[in-house]
Structure formats: structure tokens, C-alpha cells
Chains A and B, each alone.
Chain A
Amino acid sequence: MQMSNRTKNIIVPIIAVLLGILVGTIIMLITGYDPVAAFGALWNGAFGDSYFTGETIRQITPYILAGLAVAFAFRTGLFNIGVEGQLIVGWLAAVWVGVAFELPKVIHLPLAVLAGAAAGALWAFIPGLLKARFRVHEVIVTIMMNYVALHVTNYIIRSVLAESSDRTELVHQSASLRSPFFESLTDYSRLHWGIFIALICVFIMWFILEKTSRGYELKAVGFNQHASEYAGMNVKSNIIMSMVISGAFAGLAGAMEGLGTFGYAATKGGFTGVGFDGIAVALLGANGPIGIILAAILFGSLKVGALNMPLEAGVPNELVDIIIALIVFFVAASYMIRMFIDRISKKGVK
């Protein structure tokens, strides 16, 4: 029986995840660690008690947003590898607004969140403009913008926001996403309101792409630039628009970290990694809203659960990074998996 493309699209990511876990297990067997204990510790570290569950959901929040950012650009045929940089500037902008003003919460919090989105959007606008105007490949520009973001935000934090210290003050209560209710519910984890913002954004992405004519244009440009141009669409403005929306999602991911998880911005020696993991989320989630949520749940639980592996099973938590990298790799090389599925299902016919 030949499998339909739809079923294949669902089965391929599942096989990729299983292959990633399988290779991770083999690595543990070779290096003499106990895989059963390791995965047990991983599960306990992600869902073992309410504290860990809270932390897992907290981690899922930026993953959803970073995944949306990558996916939205993907759908328009653009590869936004600069989510990391857009996230960092969004983080800083949100915290800046959170620290600098004193306003009632109904104004202050939305303002800080939107500042994060705007900063991310601006940071993505540059590669979008360069792509549309000068046909410069967005991959390289966004990579370079990541490093510019890292160094510039470090500089601003050190010399403008914090008096020669490495982190800003805490954001005002009126701009904080922290939730005493969630904290009491989850044994004082850092779970905050951001998860709802992330879920709303999933809906926004679905709505823009599926229910608006702008979304239709964005997808059309992603499928075939020339055809869209002949159909009378403005390809350039759609490219810029796509990057701006994608950057806004990324900036929101940063705002969640700045206003929710940490409550401040600190200088960084390197990247947070969330932006790059967002690529993994989008790929595994096949750039669709439901897929992104599921993939973010998977990677969020893996990341948070991993922290428990050294404590409970003595296995380095980097094992999970290996598994995530392998999953990305297997999804990217899904041609291999598809060929394999085809071969098996053809045998079934004979």
C-alpha cells in the first residue's frame, strides 16, 4: 500500500526523533552509561514533580516563539538564522522599557512586551531590506547580525543600563510577567504568564498565513517568486514583511526571557542557543502551528530534563544536545527516511 504524502509528513519527524534517541542510546552504551537510568532521570527532570513541570513549560515558551519565527520566514522561502540575534535585542529592549519607566501595569507590561517585538522586528528588517533591495542572501546577513547584536547589547548593558556592572536592575513589578499564582502552584519554579503569549502567537501565525490575503501572498512568494510577481504581487515588500513578522516573534521570545524568566538582562559571553534550537523546533514541527507546539514541548522537556541527568544518573547533560542535533540532522536528511519508507511500502504490495 502506498502511503499518502500526508501520512509520510507525520511519520518522517517521528522516525527522526526515534533515530535521534536510538543513536543517543548507542552513544551511552558505548561510553558505559546506563541509558535506562539516563532516560528515567530525564523524565523525572522534566515532569517528575510540579517544580520541574513548571520549569519545562517555562522553557517551552521561548521555544514556541523562536520556532514560530523560523517557521514564518521558512513559509515565505526565507531562512532566518538570525532568530538568536533578534531574540537578544528583543530581550534588551523589553528590559530597558521595564526598567526605565514607571507606569500602571495595564500600560507598562504591554509596552515592554511590544518593545521586545519591535526591536526584534527592526533587527530582522535589515536583512529583509537587503534581501529585497540588493538580493543579498539573508542567511549570511542574519548570521552576521547575530554577532552584532551580541556585542552591541553587551556594550549597552555595560555602559548605559548598568553602572559598570554585568546586569541591569530587575524590571519594575508593573512590567513583570512573573506570576505568584504559577509560582505557588509549581513549587516556586520560574513559570510565568508568557506561555499564553506564546500560544496566542501560534494562533496569530496560523491566522495570518491561512486567513488573510497578505498571508496568501507571503506563502505564494515562498512557493514561486516569479509566479507571484507575474500575478501582480509585490515580492520585495512581501520579503521584508515576512522578515519583520518573523523578527517580531523572535523579539517576543527575548521579551519572555527578560520580563518573565530572568527579570533582567545580563551581558553574555555567548549565545543563548534558543534561537538555534528554534530552527530545530520549526524543522521538526514542519513549520505548522500544531507541529511547532509539539516540537517545542519535546525540545523544552529534553532541555530541562537534561539538567537532572548528571545529578540522578551521572550522565552529562550534553547528551541531550547530541540527540537534538541528530534529530535536526535526520529531519534535514529526510530524503533518506522517505526513500526507506517507499521501499518498505512497495515491498508490502508484492
Chain B
Amino acid sequence: MSFMDILVIIIPSTLLWAAPLIFTALGGTFSERSGVVNIGLEGLMVIGAFSAIVFNLTFDDALGAWTPWVSLLVAMAVGALFSLIHAVASITFRADQTVSGVAINLLAVGVSLFLVKFFYDKGQTDIIQKGFSKTDIPFLSDIPVIGELFFSNTYYTSFVAIFVAVIAWFIIYKTPFGLRLRAVGEHPMAADTMGINVTKIRYIAVVLSGALGGIGGGVYAQSISSDFGHATISGQGFMALAAMIFGKWHPLGAMGAALFFGFAQSLSIIGNSLPFLENIPNVYLLIAPYVLTILALTGFIGRADAPKASGVPYIKGSR
């Protein structure tokens, strides 16, 4: 097996596994940049995966080839709605944001499995017929070498994810909204004094994180798992959280970290078929994202510091 052959296997697989992580990590970035810790990313992915699969199964006759994309929009909307619970609790009712996030995770699993049993009378949905499928991207896949490596046998969603990461970077660093978002996350009182509506910005940020987390779950369910059950989303949301931290709360950093974690995940799955990896126990690849995140936080790989006001409810008038 030549090096080129290995790359042809690994790169599309990395892109596949990274896409849901990128979307969700970007969601986390918006939320935390505004000062709201979002441990609930996992739950938001669960809700996204659930609603995408249910919508897909219900409407695939009517929508045809567009089914997975429309389902993704539905997952986005439902994720955004669901994240409102976290927003209300942690912004308006000043709940401990970590606890509220834990509640979101518990609630998402409970609600979606309850509804799966209610709709289908069994613990797991059927397998969807119209998921995202591998394609060669027109024109780009004709480029020699690069086309074969990056644009053949791959998924559109991965490129949408990278594109959204660039947009997120533009929004956070190049627009007035982004400046307000960062200000609110670093020093809400100063922002408030300058006439920025802290509550409103935080609500928008949390709902954005819900929308992106929903998309992340929808992408995962429709391109990797193809159905929904209790184990569909098992840790991807926390891995996205890790990617956000490893990327130092920066959208492009989060994207890079998500790609790297996607790489580790895909290696742990296809590693057995690769010549130089078959003897390494895949446990190392499985724990790599988490260990690296801990090391990054500790400062061994460049220190990662959270936005200053992250995790602190803003109470007008208190100092």
C-alpha cells in the first residue's frame, strides 16, 4: 500500500468525521465567546440528530434528493429552539451554567428517546434511505492529485462546515456584532456601560450555538450513523467542546482542532487496515483528543484561556 493510497483513505474519512465536530465546536465558540458556558453541546447534537432522522424518515418520499439538506435545516431550527431552555436558565434565571448544561444533556436524551418510542414503538429508528452520500465534487475532483485526495469520494457537508467556520471567523472578528459578542464575554459591565444589550447578545449567541449544534447532530446522523438510537451521539458533543478549547475559542482554531480530532477518530476506526498502525492499540487514538485537550489547558501546548466572563451570570448593577 503506497503512501498515496493511504492518504486517499484517510483524508476523506477525516473530513467525514470532522464535519459534525466543526459545526458543533463553532456553536460552542459563539456561546462561550458571549460568556455562557455550554456543556449542553452534546444534548444539542442529540436533539439535532433526532430531529434530522425523524424528519428525513417522514418526508423522504416528498422531498427526494433534497431530503438530507431540508432535514438539516429542521435540525438547526429544533436545536436553536432547544437551546433557548439553556439561555433562559443561564441568562435570565442566573442558573449555574454548567448545571443547566448537564440538564440539557439529560433532557435531550430523555425527550428524544421518549419520542422515538412514542412515534415508532421501538427503541431505535429505521435506517434512513436518503442520507448524505459520497460524491465527487464537480470540476474540483478533476484537479490532478489534490482532486483525488480532497474532492473525490467525499461529502459536501464537510466543505460546508469549513465554509461556515470562515464565516464564523468573519462574524466574530470583522463585524460590529462580533466585537459586541467578544466584549460581552470578556467584560459584560463595560459592554453594558457602552450601551450594548448584554442579555440580547447572550441570547443570540446561545441560540446560534443551538442551531450549529443541531446541524452538527444532523450531519452526524445523516452521514455516519444513518439512524437514531440511544448510542447515536455518544461523546461527539464533548469532543466538539474539546475542539473549541483546543482551538482556543477561535473559530478557525476550533475548525483545525475538529479536523485533527476527526483524523484521530477515523484512524481509530480504519487504523487496523493501515500497515504502520495495525500493531498500535486503538485506545491511544481514542483518548488522544481528550488527553491533548488537557495538555493544552495545562499550558504544555500553548496556554488556552477562556473568555474572562465565561460562566458568570451578568447581574445589572452588581460589581
C-beta contact mask, B286-297 vs A, less than 8 Å → 1, else 0? Answer: 110011011001
Say whether B117 contacts A316, CB under 8 Å: yes
User: Whole-angstrom distance from the CB of B1 to the nearest CB of chain A?
Assistant: 26
Interface residue? B111 (CB, 8 A): yes
Contacts of A166 in B (CB 8 A): none
Interface residues of A (CB under 8 A from B): 27, 31, 79, 81, 130, 134, 136-137, 139-141, 143-148, 151-152, 154-155, 159, 269-270, 276, 279-280, 283, 316, 318-322, 324-326, 328-329, 331-336
> Are B287's CB and A148's CB within 8 A?
yes
Contacts of B100 in A (CB 8 A): 329, 332-333
The reply to whether A143 and B291 form a contact with Cβ atoms under 8 Å apart is no
**Interface residues of A, dominant DSSP:** helix
Task: Indicate whether A270 sits within 8 Å of B89 (C-beta atoms), given known contacts A143-B39, A276-B105.
Answer: no
Which residues from A are CB-within-8-Å of B235?
147, 270
Nearest CB of chain B from residue A350's CB, rounded to whole Å: 26
Expressed in whole angstroms, the minimum distance between the Cβ of A172 and any Cβ of chain B is: 27
**Residue B245 lies at the interface, judged by CB distance under 8 Å to chain A:** yes
Q: Is the CB of A152 within 8 A of B89?
A: no
Q: Is B62 located at the chain interface by the 8 A CB criterion?
A: no
Of B37, B85, B231, B290, which is within 8 A of A329 by CB? B85
In the bound complex, what is the Cα–Cα distance between A27 and B115 (angstroms)? 10
A137-B306, A151-B286 are known contacts; what are 20 more A-B pairs with Cβ within 8 Å? A137-B297, A140-B242, A143-B241, A144-B238, A145-B290, A151-B287, A270-B231, A283-B99, A316-B114, A318-B111, A320-B110, A321-B109, A321-B114, A322-B107, A325-B110, A329-B95, A332-B95, A333-B89, A333-B94, A335-B95
In the bound complex, residues from chain A placing their C-beta under 8 Å from that of B306 are 137
In contact, B99 and A332 (Cβ under 8 angstroms): yes
Interface centre among B93, B96, B106, B281 (most CB of A within 10 A): B106
Shortest Cβ distance from A336 into B: residue? B93
With contacts A321-B113, A324-B106 taken as known, whether A140 is within 8 angstroms of B293 at the C-beta atoms is yes
Report if B141 contacts A (CB, 8 A): no
- Number of A-B contacts defined by CB within 8 Å: 130
Contact residue among A81, A319, A325 (Cβ-Cβ distance under 8 Å from B103): A325
Asked if A321 and B106 make an inter-chain contact with CB atoms under 8 angstroms apart, the answer reads yes
Q: Which residues of B contact A332 (CB under 8 A)?
A: 89, 95-96, 99-100, 103
Chain B contact residues, CB within 8 Å of chain A: 37, 39, 85, 88-89, 93-96, 98-100, 102-107, 109-111, 113-114, 117-118, 230-231, 234-235, 238-239, 241-242, 245, 281, 283, 286-287, 290-291, 293-294, 297-299, 306
Q: How far is the CA of A239 from the CA of B283 in the complex (A)?
A: 30
Q: 24 A–B contact pairs at CB < 8 A?
A: A27-B114, A130-B298, A134-B299, A137-B306, A139-B37, A140-B242, A143-B241, A143-B242, A144-B238, A144-B290, A151-B283, A152-B287, A159-B281, A269-B234, A270-B235, A276-B102, A276-B106, A316-B117, A318-B114, A322-B107, A322-B111, A332-B89, A333-B88, A334-B95
Contact of A328 among B103, B230, B294 (CB under 8 A): B103
**A155 CB → nearest B CB, Å:** 4
Contact A144 B107 (CB under 8 A): no
Query: Is B283 a contact partner of A329 (Cβ separation < 8 A)?
Result: no
**Are A152 and B118 in contact (CB-based, < 8 A)?**
no
Q: Which of B103, B117, B239 has the largest count of A CB atoms less than 10 A from its CB?
A: B103
Choose from B93, B113, B234, B297 the contact partner of A316 (Cβ within 8 Å).
B113
- The answer to whether A139 and B103 touch (CB under 8 A), given A145-B290, A321-B109, A336-B93, is no
- Smallest CB-CB A-B distances: 6 pairs: A321-B110, A325-B106, A325-B107, A155-B283, A316-B117, A322-B110
Separation of A187 and B144 alpha carbons in the complex (Å): 72
* Docked CA distance A326–B98 (Å): 15
Contacts of A130 in B (CB 8 A): 294, 297-298
**How many Å lie between the Cα of A279 and that of B88 in the bound state?**
20
Residues of A within 8 A of B287 (CB): 147-148, 151-152
Also in contact, A329 and B98, with CB within 8 A (given A137-B297, A147-B235, A316-B113): no
Q: Across the interface, name the chain A residue whose C-beta is closest to B88.
A: A333
Known contacts A328-B106, A329-B107, A152 near B98 by CB under 8 Å: no
List the A side residues contacting B242 at CB < 8 Å.
140, 143-144
| Residue of A141, A144, A283, A335 with highest tally of chain B CB at under 10 A | A144
Chain B contacts of A151 at CB under 8 A?
A: 283, 286-287
A147 to B85, CA, bound (A): 26
8 Å CB contact of B290 from A137, A139, A148, A333: A148
Q: Determine if B98 and A139 form an interchain contact, defined as CB atoms under 8 angstroms apart.
A: yes
Q: Which residues on A sit within 8 Å (CB–CB) of B39?
A: 81, 139, 143
Contacts of B241 in A (CB 8 A): 140, 143
Chain A residue numbers with a CB within 8 Å of B286 are 151
Q: Is the CB of A333 within 8 A of B93?
A: yes
A17 to chain B, nearest CB (A): 14
Report the separation of the CA atoms of residues A139 and B97 in the bound assembly, to the nearest whole angstrom: 11
Q: In the complex the two chains form, is B283's CB within 8 Å of A152's CB?
A: yes
A79 to B97, CA, bound (A): 11
CA distance A270 to B66 in the complex (A): 33
Q: Is B106 in contact with A79, judged by CB distance below 8 angstroms?
A: no
Which residue on A lies nearest to B299, using beta carbons? A134
Kindly provide the distance from the CB of A308 to the nearest chain B CB, expressed in whole angstroms: 15
Contacts of B293 in A (CB 8 A): 140, 144
Which of A81, A145, A148, A326 makes the CB contact (< 8 A) with B102?
A81
In the complex, chain B residues whose CB is within 8 Å of the CB of A143: 39, 238, 241-242
> Which residues of B have CB within 8 Å of A335?
93-95
Whether the pair A136, B95 counts as a contact (CB closer than 8 A) is: no
